[in-house]
Amino acid sequence: MSLIVVGTMAFDAIETPFGKSDRVIGGSATYVAYAAANFVQPVQQVSIVGNDFPQEEMAELSRRGVELDGVEVVPDKPSFFWSGRYHMDMNTRDTLVTDLNVLADFDPQIPESYQGAEFLMLGNLMPSLQKKVIEQLKERPRLIVMDTMNFWMEIALDDLKEVLTMVDVLLVNDSEARQLTNEFSLVKAAKKILKMGPKYLIIKKGEHGALLFHGDNVFFAPALPLEDVFDPTGAGDTFAGGFIGHIARTKDISYENMKTAIIVGSAMASFCVEKFGPERLKEITRADIDRRLQQFQELVNFDIELV
Ligand code: AMP
């Protein structure tokens, strides 16, 4: 039951209409790891940080069963830095700064101890590096899930399309699905993406839930209506961590189980947005997660008599 997680470990500066944070811990792999470690251990992390990434954060991750042998520490450079500003709806944002820093010359090396992993979560990262990781694995994992972002569609589309041919599941948000296909209809966009390589596609729609496409099938998971959303940063990665965490725990890669996995992903994402950075993810217990899953069940459970 092993899971490799690849992605960024970073500092973020976030602005929302309701507040501002200067420098909080972020990064796609950080959020994925915090979420997934609730379901599966070890989480075998592959990433890179600079001399400024806090030791306490590393210690907290390893306390939760995240192995850090695949995380390179560069002594003389700062960590990846991203800054974004959310719009009034908190569903859309503008990237203000992307400073690659250590990421610019990252050459991921998979430790020998990670070989044989059953599941691979390619968190948001340069597509060429996502590909490098897949190529280093001596045995193909049972399921490869990939996340990406508009930024890479703009500067590395060809590489991204190549990685798409190598993965099983793609996770994108609605605007990214539209950007990748030039289709406004998400159903048409999904059809096109499913021809690019992945057999499964998850389209996240922020506070409007997520869609899972496979062949001609489509399944919908709602997002939990929350009174306060402080910071949506990392919600997508946390969703991914919950999704792959559930799959890795159950070892079941069927479409039916993926339906449950996107509910688990939505539940985890609903925690993430309640505080800045990954703070809320560090507070919650297994009991909190179970209670929230119960809320999801109540949210969508209804009887109907068809005549
Ligand atoms: P999400 O809100 O789930 O899309 O993820 C936000 C996280 O992704 C932040 O913590 C950032 O540090 C990280 N991030 C932002 N831009 C990139 C990028 N181009 N590549 C990798 N990670 C990124």
pLDDT > 90: percent of the chain: 91
pTM over 0.85: yes
- Identify whether 198 is preceded by a cis peptide bond (ω within 30 of 0): no
pLDDT value of position 145:
98
Q: Tell whether ligand 1 has an atom less than 6 A from the beta carbon of residue 149.
A: yes
Measured from the Cα of 31, ligand 1's closest atom is 10
Q: Is the CB of 156 under 6 A from ligand 1?
A: no
User: Which residue from 295, 256, 264 is spatially nearest to 35, judged by alpha carbons?
Assistant: 264
Q: Is the CB of 200 under 6 A from ligand 1?
A: no
Question: Yes or no: is domain 3-300 CATH 1.10.290.10?
Answer: no
Type and span of the H or E element at 194? helix 186-195
Distance 124 CA to ligand 1 centre (A): 7
Atom of ligand 1 nearest to the CA of 151: 19
**Cα torsion 173, 174, 175, 177: sign:** positive
Ligand 1 pocket mutation pick from 14, 124, 130 by most atoms within 8 angstroms of CB: 124
Give me 175's structure tokens. Answer: 């605007």
Domain ranges of the chain: 3-300
Contact 9, 27 (CB under 8 A): yes
Question: From the alpha carbon of 238, which atom of ligand 1 is closest?
Answer: 3
pLDDT of residue 18: 85
How many A from CA of 173 to the centre of ligand 1? 13
Q: Does 70 contact ligand 1 (Cβ within 6 A)?
A: no
The tokens for 239 are 């969703």
DSSP character string of 272-307: HTTSSTTHHHHH--HHHHHHHHHHHHHHH-------
Q: Which regions in the chain score pLDDT beneath 50? A: none
pLDDT recorded at residue 90:
85
**What does the angle CA 250 – CA 251 – CA 253 come to, to the nearest 5 degrees?**
110
Give yes or no for residue 173 CB within 6 A of ligand 1.
no
For position 1, what pLDDT does the model report? 60
What pLDDT is stored for residue 228 in this prediction? 85
Ligand 1 proximity of 124 Cβ (cutoff 6 Å)? yes
Ligand 1 atom closest to residue 233's alpha carbon, by position in its atom list: 2
Residue whose CB lies within 8 A of the most ligand 1 atoms, among 6, 31, 149, 174, for a mutation test: 149
For ligand 1, is residue 198 a contact (CB within 6 Å)? Answer: no
Q: What is the pLDDT of residue 19?
A: 86
pLDDT, residue 92, reads 87
**Best CA proximity match to 48, nearest among 64, 29, 63, 67:** 29
Residue range 64-75, pLDDT digits in tens: 999 999 999 999
Encode pLDDT of 4-17 as tens digits.
999 999 999 999 99
Ligand 1 centre distance from Cα of residue 163 (Å): 18
In ligand 1, which atom is closest to the CA atom of 84?
A: 15
Q: What is the pLDDT of residues 76-116, one digit of tens each?
A: 999 999 999 999 888 889 999 999 999 998 999 999 999 99
